[in-house]
């Protein structure tokens, strides 16, 4: 029996409604449990000594003075850790040619970025460990750093990893159609250079791990702020030589992730190794400087791109040359080639055109490694695409809305394959754009803009259409050899009193996973969400799963939960039919009771069924299946990814005297398929938009020419604050995926994917009458004044 | 850290209405004392240099950064953390509004945010959205984009004003 989603009056209609988050009340009372809140008997603290140089040989480490600090227990070097922990190599077979050298949990003889761990100090208190770390004397011999991206492959540039032969980590070129010919014969060609600043995630809870090793049981338990507990279980087991069954990863509350906490970090693995060596609980909590120098960075790209258009505004071709520098190592196990690869896959995404060429060149340098951060590659690809489309429209004297209408895939064109060979099952670009224009009252806004311009007030309207990759299949990582699950599972059980427990492999990072699962299980089973207790984030009890990444929680974890709940419903009804001597197909579960499906008449509460099954099983027919627990796993198989789409708009004002941009309002209409919880989806979109706005206007990690990190604090690396952010209007179009019963696609990254491009286009819309244009993020006052020509030196 | 910072100092204070005594290292921050010695883990250490507001607590009636004050300075102080404010019920309407509006996601910034808002709502009148945004600009939230928080504060400010007028 399928669910009649179209009927809002159907029984147990919890999917599609805003229900409260079961964990929110706990968090507002300060009763959350983050890793640093956990204290274990005999727990010690580990603090890392980190390289102050971008590139240096480690000649000698003298720990004598550090050991004299009261409370310091032991000091570990890279060599000590390497005795119990094997190094890793972050490559994927399907990213052909990707290379990276072996990386150790603590650098063994050479440090390759400012912030790389070179020693660990363990003490009975964090303060003592920090005191000890300050006294570790490391004899460094500085080596030539590779700090510049565009010259990394030049013959005179030193090779960072001599064993790799050169500084090229990965390159890929995709070509479709006759790009050269299209550019040669086009009515207009517009080109531009785009730069996206190096960002990091700035999770308010720093990276945190607490690892206990019990040698008597040969059992490791890690309380970890992570998005992917099963992946971490697999990694710790592999590199510390333990069976996976002897590694338990527990993930309680996590204070923000955004992709930062889905990677394997050397210091965290070292903490586990130290716990194993010292046979006692070991805690590592990164401080803020460590967060800036050792959390993954992202988005450090430089791009030359051009677009060819016809007189009618039709896109004839796009050509993209993308460069990115990933730091000293490809990050384990997802690798650092994915972001550049995504740029190739996603440019031109919304548009129906024939000739496309894109190349990404991924190089090593002596900086913090980069890897997947919220909306991986999307903000870059969307900025390139939407920037070029707007420039082409301006060149043609065409309205930015009109050029998009003429080029976006028609809403009835699906299924369709893009010039980048991405397969789209069903998108709604035109319906979404129509809705956006209605929400923002585009015409009125244009009139207001024109009126204000006469008074010397420079406002801009920017639009950005986009696609978003969600619900990944094993095509993302698994086929390349990474032990990262694209499948997810859920176990749903009914307890004797009729209450329900659901254990899921997807995790809660604050996005509302538990609420989403509770309402999916509630509807699938026929009870109220309040009756469903959700358990996530414990590898010892939940089904194996991938966790939270690539906007997969609702689409994949939600579908597994729905199927498990439906299976349990069938099991319950089979028992009920035997008890009531009724036809199983004529019974239903509604609001926690067995009812007659046709009349809705109550037949038996679930409590009664639970009592009989668990305590008076003797009264049931012999051989009657009586499992009040069911597990289902779900994996997508028809499409490698479930693409979503959306469109954003920004309205802002540029102060041409100061270069300061004031955000006035922001809109987003997006299509994530079935919306399970409207409030939670809207807040994911809003939070995502603001993360993108940070990248557009403020956020940038700075290094000097020697690879020295220049801004390692929240006072120097600016993130959006409440006063600078606009109110945001969110709308939806729903095109459910046909692959699953639930029909949900992801929504967590759509906001971040499109907002930087919308802001860039709005700024350029404001500046265009003055002949100025910006394409280098973040759009700081300085860059805007330089574009205006009022700042020259 | 030199020996002076390791010296122990005796302090006596009130935390969440209960008398507390402690012998603290001179260099220990107040938030570390509350979290470590007293197990009050609601206030969180995040930037540890007074920028992000995650450690905001109430000291002698004012919202204070727990990472910018030493435990030794709290001798004789009257301190309230989110745990005490929750038990006392004084911010229940605000907490309810946060839950209803989903004005929190990961919840790490929330306890500090609530203390900062409590200070704002203690002032006269109903703050405008711009004033709410300005007041909260010392409290970073990386998840929500702030709008839901501003909505929740506005709702509570209006409800309290109405209740006061009635």
Helix extents (H) in A87-151: 126-134
Domain limits for position A491: 24-32+487-623
Residue A1 has pLDDT above 60, yes or no: no
pLDDT higher than 90, residue A6: no
pLDDT tens, position by position, A424-478: 999 999 999 999 999 999 999 999 999 999 999 999 999 999 999 999 999 999 9
Q: What is the pLDDT of residues A18-49, one digit of tens each?
A: 998 999 999 999 999 999 999 999 999 999 99
Mean pLDDT within A67-76: 97
Q: Does A24 touch chain B (CB under 8 A)?
A: yes
Residues A458 and A428 in one domain: yes
Tell me: pLDDT of B1 over 60. Answer: no
Contacts of B133 in chain A (CB under 8 A): 722-723, 725
Q: Residue A26: closest CA among chain B residues belongs to which residue?
A: B107
How far is B147 from chain A, CA to nearest CA, in Å? 6
Which residues is A146 bridged to in the sheet? none
> Does a structural domain hold residue A52?
yes
Closest residue by Cα to residue A148 from A336, A271, A302: A302
Nearest to B149 by CA among B93, B86, B102: B102
Name the minimum distance, in Å, from the CA of B53 to any CA of chain A. 10
CA distance B19 to chain A (A): 21
ipTM above 0.95, yes or no: yes
Task: Based on the fold, state whether residues A111 and A79 are members of the same structural domain.
Answer: yes
Q: Are A309 and A385 in contact (CB under 8 A)?
A: no
Chain B nearest-CA distance from A721, in A, is 5
In this structure, is residue A743 part of a structural domain?
A: yes
Reading the block at residue A292, the tokens are: 């800036």
What is the model's pLDDT at position B2?
59
End-to-end CA distance of chain A: 70
Report residue A528's pLDDT band, with 50, 70 and 90 as the boundaries: very high
Q: How many CB pairs under 8 A join A and B?
A: 181
% of chain A surpassing 90 pLDDT: 98
Residue A193 lies in a domain: no
Which helix (DSSP H) or strand (DSSP E) does residue A181 occupy? helix A179-185
Other C-beta atoms lying within 10 Å of the C-beta of residue A461: 23
Distance from CA of A690 to the nearest CA of B (A): 5
Starting at the earlier edge strand, list the strands of the sheet with A247-250: A72-77, A117-123, A44-50, A282-285, A208-214, A219-224, A247-250
Interface contact B102-A690, CB threshold 8 A:
no
CA dihedral A556, A561, A562, A567 (to 10 degrees): 130
Which CATH fold would you assign to the domain B3-85?
Answer: Ubiquitin-like (UB roll) (3.10.20)
By mean pLDDT, which of A413-417, A512-516, A749-753, B121-125 is the weakest?
B121-125
Q: B95 vs A28: CB contact, 8 Å cut-off?
A: yes
Q: Chain B window 80-109: which residues touch A at a Cβ cutoff of 8 Å? A: 81-83, 86, 95, 98-102, 104-109
What confidence score (pLDDT) does residue B165 get? 76
Position A147 scores a pLDDT of: 97
Specify whether A436 is located in the same domain as A515: no
Instruction: Measure CB to CB from residue A725 to each of B47, B86, B145 and give the nearest one.
Output: B145
Q: Which of A722, A723, A728 has the highest number of chain B CBs within 10 A, making it the mutation to test binding with B?
A: A722
**SS3 call for A541:** coil
- Does residue B163 belong to the interface with chain A, where contact is any CB pair within 8 Å? no
Sequence-distant (6+) residues with CB within 8 A of B6 are B25, B26, B27
Query: Is A569 in the same domain as A661?
Result: no
**Token pair belonging to A677:** 């919880």
HSE-CB for A374 with a 13 A CA cutoff: 33
pLDDT of A702 reads 98
User: What's the whole-number mean pLDDT along residues A207-217?
Assistant: 97
Q: Would you place residue A506 in the very low, low, confident or very high pLDDT band (cuts 50, 70, 90)? A: very high
A720 reaches B (C-beta below 8 A): yes
The minimal CB distance from B133 to the residues A258, A680, A722 is found for A722
Distance CA(A154)–CA(A523), nearest Å, equals 60
Q: How confident is the model at residue B3 (pLDDT cuts 50, 70, 90)?
A: low
Domains contained in chain A, number: 3
Q: What are phi and psi of B42, to 5 degrees?
A: -70, -40
Which pLDDT band, with edges at 50, 70 and 90, does B85 fall under?
very high
- Residue B1 corresponds to which tokens in the numbers above? 């850290």
CA distance B102 to chain A (A): 7
Q: Which of residues 43-62 of B touch A (CB under 8 A)?
A: 43-49, 51-52, 54
Q: Give the closest of A31, A37, A687 to B144, CB-based.
A: A687
Over residues A468-483, the pLDDT tens digits come to: 999 999 999 999 999 9
Inform me whether the pLDDT recorded for A114 exceeds 80. yes
CB contact under 8 A, A714 and B107: no
Nearest to A256 among B42, B108, B149 (CB): B108
Does A59 share its domain with A135? yes
Measured between beta carbons, which residues in chain B are less than 8 angstroms from residue A681?
Answer: none
Q: Does the distance separating the beta carbons of B130 and A510 come in below 8 Å?
A: no
Which pLDDT belongs to residue A68?
A: 97
Q: Which residues of B touch A253 (CB under 8 A)?
A: 106-108
**Vertex A642, ends A638 and A647: CA angle to 5°?**
150
Task: Give me the CATH number covering residue A669.
Answer: 3.30.365.10
A468, A498: one domain: no
pLDDT tens-digit map of A732-786: 999 999 999 999 999 999 999 999 999 999 999 999 999 999 999 999 999 999 9
Nearest to B106 among A37, A255, A690 (CB): A255
State yes or no: cis peptide before A740, omega within 30 of 0: no
| A232-269: pLDDT as tens digits | 999 999 999 999 999 999 999 999 999 999 999 999 99
Co-location of A106 and A213 in the same domain:
yes
Asked if residue A111 has pLDDT above 90, the reply is yes
For residue A793, the model assigns a pLDDT of 83
Nearest to A198 by CA among A346, A387, A373, A388: A373
Which residues in chain A have Cβ-Cβ distances shorter than 8 Å to B86?
28-30
Separation of alpha carbons A98 and B121, rounded Å: 56
| Co-location of A694 and A712 in the same domain | yes
Q: Are residues A43 and A115 in the same domain?
A: yes
Note whether residue A458 is domain-resident. Answer: yes
Q: Is residue A102 part of a domain?
A: yes
What superfamily would CATH give domain B91-165?
[2Fe-2S]-binding domain (1.10.150.120)
- A130, part of any domain: yes
Residue A479 CB neighbour total at 10 angstroms = 14
Cis upstream peptide for A333 (omega within 30°):
yes
Q: Do residues A657 and A782 share a domain?
A: yes
Whether residue A224 lies inside any domain: the answer is yes
Give the model's pLDDT for residue B164. Answer: 82
Residues B9-30 have pLDDT tens digits of 999 999 999 999 999 999 999 9
Q: Is A678 left (phi over 0), alpha (psi -120 to 50) or beta?
A: alpha
> Which of A378, A325, A467 has the alpha carbon at shortest distance from A692?
A378
Report the mean per-residue pLDDT for chain A.
Answer: 97
Contacts with A422 (C-beta within 8 Å, 6 or more apart), sequence order: A345, A346, A349, A467, A641, A643
| CA atoms of A672 and A513, how far apart (whole Å) | 15
Domain ranges in chain B with CATH number 1.10.150.120:
91-165
Tell me the mean pLDDT in the region A213-222: 97
Paired strand residues for A408: A351
Question: Residues A214, A275: one domain?
Answer: yes
| pLDDT at residue B6 tops 90 | no
Strand ranges for A385-431 from DSSP E: 416-417, 423-424
Contact call for B46 and A204, based on CB within 8 A: yes
Cβ distance of B147 and A727 shorter than 8 Å: yes
Closest chain A CA to residue B143: A687
Q: Closest to A21 (Cβ–Cβ): which among B52, B102, B133?
A: B102
Q: Does residue B142 register a pLDDT over 80? A: yes
Interface residue B137 vs chain A (CB under 8 A): yes
Q: Which A residues in the span 740-759 are in contact with B, Cβ-Cβ below 8 Å?
A: 751
Average pLDDT of the residues in A600-607: 98
Whether A12 has a pLDDT exceeding 60, the answer reads yes
Domain for residue A306, yes or no?
no
User: Considering only residues 498 to 537 of chain A, which have any Cβ-Cβ distance to chain B shorter than 8 Å?
Assistant: 509-512
pLDDT of res. A421: 97
Spatial CA neighbour of A30 closest among B39, B23, B157, B121: B39
Closest alpha carbon within chain B to A135: B1
Task: Tell me, yes or no, whether A517 and A413 share the same domain.
Answer: no
Provide, as residue numbers in chain A, all residues whose Cβ is less than 8 Å from the Cβ of B46. 204-206, 255, 288
Domain(s) labelled CATH 3.10.20.30 in chain B stretch across: 3-85
């Amino acid at each position: 029996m399928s669910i009649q989603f179209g009927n809002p009056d159907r029984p147990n209609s919890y999917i599609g409604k805003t229900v409260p988050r079961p964990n929110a009340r706990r968090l507002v009372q300060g009763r959350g449990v983050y890793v640093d809140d956990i204290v274990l008997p005999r727990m010690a603290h580990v603090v890392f000594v980190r390289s102050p140089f971008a590139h240096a040989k480690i000649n000698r480490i003298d720990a004598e003075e550090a050991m004299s600090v009261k409370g310091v227990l032991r000091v570990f070097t890279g060599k000590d850790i390497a005795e119990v922990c094997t190094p890793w190599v972050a490559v994927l077979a399907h990213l052909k040619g990707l290379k990276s050298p072996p990386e150790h949990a603590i650098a063994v003889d050479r440090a390759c970025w400012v912030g790389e761990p070179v020693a660990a100090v363990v003490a009975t208190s964090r303060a003592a460990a920090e005191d000890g770390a300050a006294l570790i004397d490391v004899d460094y011999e500085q080596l030539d750093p590779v700090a510049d991206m565009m010259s990394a492959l030049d013959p005179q540039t030193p090779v960072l990893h001599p064993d790799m032969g050169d500084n090229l980590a990965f390159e890929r070129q995709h070509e479709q159609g006759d790009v050269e010919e299209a550019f040669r014969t086009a009515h207009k060609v517009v080109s531009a250079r785009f730069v996206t600043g190096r960002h990091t995630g700035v999770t308010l809870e720093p990276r945190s791990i607490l690892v206990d090793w019990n040698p008597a049981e040969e059992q490791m338990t890690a309380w970890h702020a992570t998005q992917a507990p099963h992946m971490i279980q697999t990694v710790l087991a592999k590199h510390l030589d333990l069976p996976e069954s002897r590694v338990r990863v527990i993930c309680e509350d996590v204070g923000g992730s955004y992709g930062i906490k889905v990677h394997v970090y050397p210091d965290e693995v070292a903490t586990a190794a130290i716990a194993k060596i010292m046979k006692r609980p070991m805690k590592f909590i990164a401080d803020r400087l460590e967060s800036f120098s050792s959390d993954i960075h992202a988005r450090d790209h430089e791009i030359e791109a051009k677009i060819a258009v016809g007189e009618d505004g039709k896109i004839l071709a796009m050509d993209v040359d993308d460069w990115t520098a990933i730091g000293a190592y490809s990050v384990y196990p997802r690798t650092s080639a994915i972001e550049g690869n995504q740029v190739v896959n996603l440019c031109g995404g919304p548009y129906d055109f024939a000739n496309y060429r894109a190349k990404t060149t991924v190089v090593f340098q002596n900086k913090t490694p980069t890897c997947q951060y919220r909306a991986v590659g999307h903000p870059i690809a969307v900025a390139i695409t939407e920037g070029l489309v707007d420039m082409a429209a301006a060149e043609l004297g065409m309205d930015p809305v009109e050029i998009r209408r003429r080029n976006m895939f028609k809403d009835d064109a699906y299924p369709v394959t893009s010039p980048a060979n991405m397969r789209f099952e069903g998108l709604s670009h035109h319906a979404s754009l129509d809705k956006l224009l209605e929400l923002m009252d585009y015409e009125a806004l244009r009139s207001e803009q024109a009126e204000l311009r006469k008074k010397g007030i420079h406002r801009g309207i920017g639009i950005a259409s986009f696609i978003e990759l969600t619900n990944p299949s094993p095509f993302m990582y698994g086929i390349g050899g990474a032990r990262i699950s694209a499948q997810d599972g859920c176990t749903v059980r009914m307890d004797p009193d009729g209450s329900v427990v659901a254990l899921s492999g997807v995790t809660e990072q604050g996005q509302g996973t538990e609420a989403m699962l509770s309402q999916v299980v509630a509807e699938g089973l026929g009870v109220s969400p309040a009756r469903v207790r959700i358990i996530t984030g414990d590898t010892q009890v939940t089904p194996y799963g991938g966790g939270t990444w690539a906007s997969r929680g609702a689409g994949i974890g939600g579908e597994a939960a729905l199927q498990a709940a439906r299976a349990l419903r069938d099991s319950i009804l089979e028992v009920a039919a035997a008890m009531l001597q009724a036809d199983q197909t004529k019974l239903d579960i509604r609001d926690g009771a067995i009812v007659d499906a046709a009349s809705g008449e109550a037949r038996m509460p679930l409590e009664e069924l639970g009592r009989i099954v668990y305590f008076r099983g003797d009264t049931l027919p012999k051989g009657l299946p009586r499992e009040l627990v069911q597990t289902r796993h779900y994996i997508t198989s028809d499409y490698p990814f479930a693409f979503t789409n959306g469109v954003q708009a920004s309205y802002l004002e540029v102060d041409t005297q100061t270069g300061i941009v004031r955000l006035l309002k922001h809109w987003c209409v997006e299509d994530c398929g079935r919306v399970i919880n409207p409030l939670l989806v809207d807040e994911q979109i809003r939070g995502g938009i603001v993360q993108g706005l940070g990248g557009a206007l403020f956020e940038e990690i700075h290094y000097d020419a020697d690879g020295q990190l220049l801004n390692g604090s929240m006072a120097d690396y600016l993130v959006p604050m409440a006063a600078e952010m606009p109110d945001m209007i969110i709308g939806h179009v729903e095109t459910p995926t046909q692959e699953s019963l639930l029909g949900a696609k992801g929504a967590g990254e759509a906001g971040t994917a499109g907002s930087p491009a919308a802001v860039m286009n709005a700024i350029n819309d404001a500046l265009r009458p003055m002949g100025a244009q910006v394409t280098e993020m973040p759009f700081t006052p300085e860059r805007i004044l330089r574009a205006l020509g009022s700042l020259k030196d | 850290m030199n020996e002076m910072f390791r010296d122990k100092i005796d302090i006596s204070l009130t935390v969440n209405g209960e008398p507390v005594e402690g012998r603290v290292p001179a260099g220990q921050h107040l938030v570390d004392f509350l979290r470590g010695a007293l197990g009050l883990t609601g206030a969180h250490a995040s930037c540890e240099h007074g920028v992000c507001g995650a450690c905001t607590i109430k000291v002698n009636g004012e919202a204070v950064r727990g990472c910018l004050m030493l435990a030794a300075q709290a001798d004789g102080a009257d301190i309230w953390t989110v745990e005490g404010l929750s038990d006392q019920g004084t911010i229940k309407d605000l907490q309810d509004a946060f839950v209803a509006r989903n004005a929190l996601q990961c919840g790490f910034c929330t306890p500090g945010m609530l203390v900062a808002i409590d200070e704002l709502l203690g002032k006269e009148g109903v703050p405008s959205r711009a004033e709410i945004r300005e007041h909260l600009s010392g409290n970073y939230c990386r998840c929500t984009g702030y709008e839901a928080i501003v909505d929740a504060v506005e709702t509570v400010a209006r409800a309290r004003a109405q209740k006061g007028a009635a």
